[in-house]
Amino acid sequence: MKIAKKSAAAKRGARAGVDIATTKPGTPGGVFMRQFWICAHRSEDLTAGRAKPIKIMSENFTLYRGASGKAHCIDSACPHRLAQMHLGWVEGDDIRCVYHGWKFDGSGQCVEQPAEEAGFARKVRIRAYPCEEYLGMIWVYFGEGAPPGFPPFPRRETPGLVQTWNVEQVPCNYLQSFENSMDEVHVAFTHAPGGSHANLSRDLPIISAREEDWGLLRFGARATGKVRQTLHYAPNVTRVIVPPVAGMEGVGGWPEIYFSFTPVDDENHVWFITSHVEVEGEALEAYRAQREKYERQLAGAKTSVALANELMAGEHYYADVRHPDLAIVQDIAVQAGQGRIADRGRERLGRSDAGIIAWRKILTRELKLIAAGKKPKAWKSPPAEVVPTLGF
């Protein structure tokens, strides 16, 4: 296993002995992440017959959707003279480079070279990565060998409405957002108590967490004795039940959300969010109509990241964005405000950070094993019966 030289970020994280924030190829963190399916794109944003560039974990790729509807992910550079493949033409489920017309099939095999001798094409491949779709998202396996089972989580059998949310690119390392999702206490302070958040902030939960063979199971215990259970699937997905946004209360139940925090590079990541609300029949129609109204209201507004940047620059008071609908803005401002790569050596963690502490321990252990060339943990597919609970 080839391990790259330590980056500046690695030196900053030296207290832990390994750089838990980086996902660059060849680093222990990069090797760790590439053991899993990674959420790479929203399905509806990739049209059949089109190719586009994506950057994931500091590497560039081409993503395209063939005529069959199947999504394909290949290296960004053509193996001939390195032209960008996303400039090319999608032909059926193949893609043809725009520079000299070399054509590759969905498996990455070169199948045509207009100006070359017969027999050369079969010796040429572009690397292709396994690609599947679930939860309205395209998932790619960037690792070596066969991918783990798909989908990465138990397939939902319950009826309901599945919706994908706006895709947001957040200007900081992915681990800050994943850690934030393990921090239930911040909800009472960051997200404006009152309205639909009233229950959450009535009393603060005592946090605990348990390592599972699929990730981390976290508990938030209230004084009432009720426990909210949240799932953190390795390496970067949180599955949680959250309150409805303002205006959506009473239309359906509380949505269950799958958050994927996908690294673009070490200083940026993307939020891919799918929600599932158990509504059927007339209730489903009422929910859909209300949600569309809500989305129309937001349509003219600035992006969450733009608003969060202005908040961080002091151009608004935090009080101005203290509305439950702006939870994403509030989260981005808090997390990106920690710095592009938070200096964890300067933190003072407490009892309420039990989830974060547990995940960092797992990550540190795994990255040390990888750095030492030892066998990391054999992660398993999560069982269907472990689900998030509301805890009220």
Contact residues toward ligand FES (CB under 6 A) are 78, 80-81, 83, 97, 99-102
Q: Which residues contact 179 (CB under 8 A, 6 or more apart)?
A: 355, 356, 359, 360
Are the C-beta atoms of residues 113 and 13 closer than 8 Å to each other? no
Smallest distance, Fe ion to C-beta of residue 337, A: 13
Smallest distance, ligand FES to C-beta of residue 77, A: 8
CA 37 to chain centre: 10
131-149 per-residue burial string, b: 16 or more CB within 10 A, e: under 16:
bbbbbbbbbbbbbeeebee
Residue type present at position 358: A
Smallest distance, ligand FES to C-beta of residue 91, A: 14
179 binds Fe ion (CB under 5 A): no
Smallest distance, ligand FES to C-beta of residue 140, A: 22
In this complex, which beta carbon is closest to Fe ion, that of residue 39 or of residue 326? 326
In this complex, which beta carbon is closest to Fe ion, that of residue 94 or of residue 331? 331
In this complex, which beta carbon is closest to ligand FES, that of residue 48 or of residue 83? 83
Lateral strand order in the sheet of 128-129: 51-56, 59-65, 71-75, 128-129
| 3-class DSSP state of 78 | coil
Angstrom distance (rounded) from CA 216 to CA 170: 24
The partner in contact with residue 331, picked from Fe ion, ligand FES, none with C-beta cut-offs of 5 to 8 angstroms by kind, is: Fe ion
In this complex, which beta carbon is closest to Fe ion, that of residue 331 or of residue 366? 331
In this complex, which beta carbon is closest to ligand FES, that of residue 100 or of residue 288? 100
Structure tokens at 164: 């994908």
> Residue 169's beta-bridge partner residues?
270
Is the Cα torsion angle 323, 329, 333, 335 positive or negative in sign?
positive
Span near Fe ion by CB under 5 A; candidates 217-225, 260-268, 329-337, 375-383:
329-337
Bond prior to 235 in cis (omega within 30° of 0): yes
The partner in contact with residue 102, picked from Fe ion, ligand FES, none with C-beta cut-offs of 5 to 8 angstroms by kind, is: ligand FES
In this complex, which beta carbon is closest to Fe ion, that of residue 95 or of residue 170? 170
Smallest distance, Fe ion to C-beta of residue 183, A: 8
Closest-approach residue to Fe ion (CB): 331
19 binds Fe ion (CB under 5 A): no
The partner in contact with residue 165, picked from Fe ion, ligand FES, none with C-beta cut-offs of 5 to 8 angstroms by kind, is: none
331 binds Fe ion (CB under 5 A): yes
> Residue 220's beta-bridge partner residues?
207, 228
Are the C-beta atoms of residues 151 and 134 closer than 8 Å to each other? yes
The number of residues making up the chain comes to: 392
Chain position carrying tokens 């600035």: 302
In this complex, which beta carbon is closest to ligand FES, that of residue 116 or of residue 211? 116
The partner in contact with residue 100, picked from Fe ion, ligand FES, none with C-beta cut-offs of 5 to 8 angstroms by kind, is: ligand FES
Smallest distance, ligand FES to C-beta of residue 54, A: 19
- Binding residues (CB under 5 A) for Fe ion: these are 331
